[in-house]
Structure formats: C-alpha cells, structure tokens
C-alpha cells in the first residue's frame, strides 16, 4: 500500500500524547543515524503508541517509516518496519490493552509468534494477533505492513472464536481480505475518512470486512454482506470507473468481469447507493468535463477534446447533457475560462 507520505503531518512526542489526530500522521526514522534508529522508534513510537519493545536484529539495518491514524474504535497503521524484533512482553501487558490486530503482510518475510506458536506470512497474507497476550514480530525488507487494531469488545460480536483465529493464516486470494486492503487504501488516498460521521461508517465497514475474512458469526456474516462487503465492492467499482472514464465503451459487463461478479450485482450495488451504473458514469464524466472546461490552463483546448477525453463519443449529445446538468453550454464555460486566462482580453487566437 503506497502513500505520498510527504503530505501527512509528522508525528511528534506532543501530538502522540495528545488527542487522536483528525487525519493520518507520519513517523519516520529514515533520516536518523543508523545506530540511533531502534532506540528512537522504541522510546517514542513503539512503547507509547504501539505498546511494544524493539530489539535491533544483529547485522541488520533497521528502518521505520509509517503512517498512523486513530479513529473511534480503530487504529490504522501502514508503512514499513524491518531489521528488528518487536515484542509485546509480559511487562508491557500491564498497560491493559485488550485488542485484536490484523496484520496484512505487504512485502517481505514476516515472522509472527504468539503463545508458543509462530507463523511466517508470505506477501499478501494476513493473520490475527491478540494484544492481551505476549507476541513478537520480525519483518525483513521491504517490510511493508498494514495493521488494523480493534478493541476486543467491538470485534467479538462479529466473528466467532477469535482466539482460535490468532496466528491462523488468511490467504492472499481471500476476497474479503482483498476488499479490505483496497477499501482502506481508498479511504486514505481520497481522504474520505476526515469527518466524524464518515469515520464511524468507515470503521463499521472495516470491522465487517475484517470479521468476514476471519470467519464471521451467522449474524456477523449477514451484517458483513449487507454493509462492509457491499460498501467495499462499490468503492472498488467506483475507483475502477474513475480510472477508465475516457473509454467510450465502458460497460457494466466489462466492469463486472474485471471484478469477478455478475452485471446484476454491479447494478444492485449502484441502486442501493441511490443511483444506477449509467447515471453514475454520466455524473462522473460531466464533472470531469466541467473541471477541464473551467481550467484556464486548458483554455486553448477544443470542447470536442474535453468531450472525447471524458468518454463522450458524440459531441452533440455531450452539449445537450452538459447544458441540462449545469444550465449553461460548454462554450459558455470555456469562454469564461478564457477570460480568466486572459483578463486583459488578449489571446493568441
């Protein structure tokens, strides 16, 4: 899971001790001297934020560059940490944390142990760990990981036998796991989890998907299908559409084929969201065309160029639906953009 980490605020000792941030924060030791990195990570981030101790591995380079977000009832952690043994020791259990953490291995051999058992996760695999019991983690480069930490009381009603799920591998081709990682990525990249109401909905959906990947209870299975799985599928479908708006032949059948489901399921997901596939694609194409035509930097582009770049194969149809949506012709918006680009009234053509 890749992030443009430069856009996230840097985590400081003061912010770590304060109230949870409204958005993701970044912590990195990459710029510190090699010999100081494990201590910085252990004293500042490991013990206070994650509740773990950190021991550097002999003859190995330690590095950590992670993004953290705390939401009501969920802590998200993504990035890379390698070259150390990270342990939740019996002494640290006194902090009273009683949570479950789902670790998704994003790259590099990942050795996790708990209760005299150990598991080596391959790329893309995941497993559950209890913070109420001693455990340890050792990751080798590139050390990519996504961790989702839920309070025990919040997750228990959704999944059966959680203790038995600990250190049980979840295959990388598990549909719920794939949807879960994709859903979290969409939430971060599109900054869709900034407001309180959306945060609570996001946490609910992530919990549903996590429980489904682990093996939900009968009631939890029903809720996961109704809430989390549907929401994650719809997010994935919308993201796919956004990447292919310029394709005039974008169809519900082709979209369903790429996502391994039926066209009717795609249609039902959009209907449950208060729209249809066709209406949603048209809305997105019109919005993108509006942005292009209103951009003074593109004032020299022809209207037909904007129409074709947004997947409209017929310029006359584009003009009609654009006027119907925005109450103005594309040429009116383009003229305003040119006036903004050349406030003195001069232009080359």
How distant, in Å, are the alpha carbons of 135, 237, 266 from that of 225?
A: 32, 16, 14
The pLDDT score that the predictor gives to residue 119 is 94
User: Tokens representing 252?
Assistant: 């519900």
The pLDDT score that the predictor gives to residue 69 is 86
CA dihedral 12, 131, 94, 158 (to 10 degrees): 110
Is the pLDDT at 260 greater than 80, yes or no? no
The pLDDT score that the predictor gives to residue 201 is 79
Report the chain's mean pLDDT, rounded to a whole number. Answer: 83
The pLDDT score that the predictor gives to residue 26 is 86
User: Tokens representing 175?
Assistant: 């549909």
How distant, in Å, are the alpha carbons of 187, 265, 286, 288 from that of 281?
A: 21, 16, 9, 11
pLDDT band at 171 (very low <50, low <70, confident <90, very high): very high
pLDDT tens digits for 48-73?
788 899 999 988 899 999 988 888 88
Mean pLDDT in residue range 327-338: 86
For the chain, domains (ranges, CATH) are: 5-177 (2.60.120.10)
Which has the closest alpha carbon to 306: 289, 324, 329? 289
The pLDDT score that the predictor gives to residue 10 is 64
The pLDDT score that the predictor gives to residue 345 is 54
Do 168 and 128 meet the contact criterion of CB atoms below 8 Å apart?
Answer: yes
User: Tokens representing 248?
Assistant: 């005039």
The pLDDT score that the predictor gives to residue 8 is 56
pLDDT tens digits for 9-19?
566 544 544 44
The pLDDT score that the predictor gives to residue 115 is 81
- Token pair 């093996």 is found at 215
pLDDT band at 343 (very low <50, low <70, confident <90, very high): low
pLDDT band at 20 (very low <50, low <70, confident <90, very high): very low
pLDDT tens digits for 195-235?
667 788 788 888 888 888 887 544 444 444 555 567 777 87
- Token pair 């394709």 is found at 247
Q: How far apart are CA 335 and CA 303, in angstroms?
A: 11
Please tell me which residue, 261 or 202, carries the higher pLDDT value: 202
The pLDDT score that the predictor gives to residue 279 is 93
pLDDT tens digits for 74-120?
999 999 999 999 999 988 988 888 999 999 999 999 999 998 889 99
Is the pLDDT at 299 greater than 80, yes or no? no
Mean pLDDT in residue range 142-161: 86
């Amino acid at each position: 899971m890749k992030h443009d980490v430069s856009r996230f605020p840097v985590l400081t000792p003061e912010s770590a001790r304060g109230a949870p941030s409204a958005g993701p924060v970044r912590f990195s030791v990459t710029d510190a001297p090699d010999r100081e990195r494990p201590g910085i990570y252990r004293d500042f981030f490991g013990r206070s934020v994650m509740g773990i101790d950190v021991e550097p591995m002999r003859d190995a380079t330690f590095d950590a560059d992670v993004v953290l977000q705390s939401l009501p009832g969920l802590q998200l952690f993504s990035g890379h940490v390698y070259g150390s043994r990270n342990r939740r020791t019996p002494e640290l259990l006194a902090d009273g944390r009683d949570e479950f953490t789902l670790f998704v291995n994003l790259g590099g051999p990942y050795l996790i142990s708990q209760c005299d058992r150990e598991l080596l996760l391959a790329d893309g695999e995941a497993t559950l760990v209890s913070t109420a019991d001693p455990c340890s983690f050792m990751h080798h480069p590139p050390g990519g990981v996504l961790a989702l930490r839920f309070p025990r009381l919040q997750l228990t009603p959704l999944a059966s036998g959680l203790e038995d799920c600990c250190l049980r591998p979840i295959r990388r081709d598990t549909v719920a796991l794939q949807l879960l990682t994709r859903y979290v990525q969409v939430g971060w990249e599109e900054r869709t989890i900034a407001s309180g109401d959306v945060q609570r909905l996001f946490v609910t959906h992530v919990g549903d998907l996590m429980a489904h990947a682990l093996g939900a209870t009968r009631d939890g299975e029903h809720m996961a299908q109704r809430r989390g799985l549907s929401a994650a599928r719809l997010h994935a479908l919308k993201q796919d559409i956004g990447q292919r708006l310029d394709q005039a032949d974008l169809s519900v059948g082709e979209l369903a084929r790429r996502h391994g489901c039926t066209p009717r399921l795609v249609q039902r997901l959009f209907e449950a969201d208060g729209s249809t596939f066709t209406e949603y694609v048209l809305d997105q194409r019109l919005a993108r065309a509006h942005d292009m035509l209103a951009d003074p930097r593109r004032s020299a582009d022809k209207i037909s160029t904007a129409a074709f770049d947004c997947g409209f194969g017929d310029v006359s149809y584009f003009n009609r639906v654009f006027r119907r949506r925005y109450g103005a012709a594309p040429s009116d918006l383009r003229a305003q953009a040119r006036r903004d680009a050349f406030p003195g009234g001069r232009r080359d053509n």
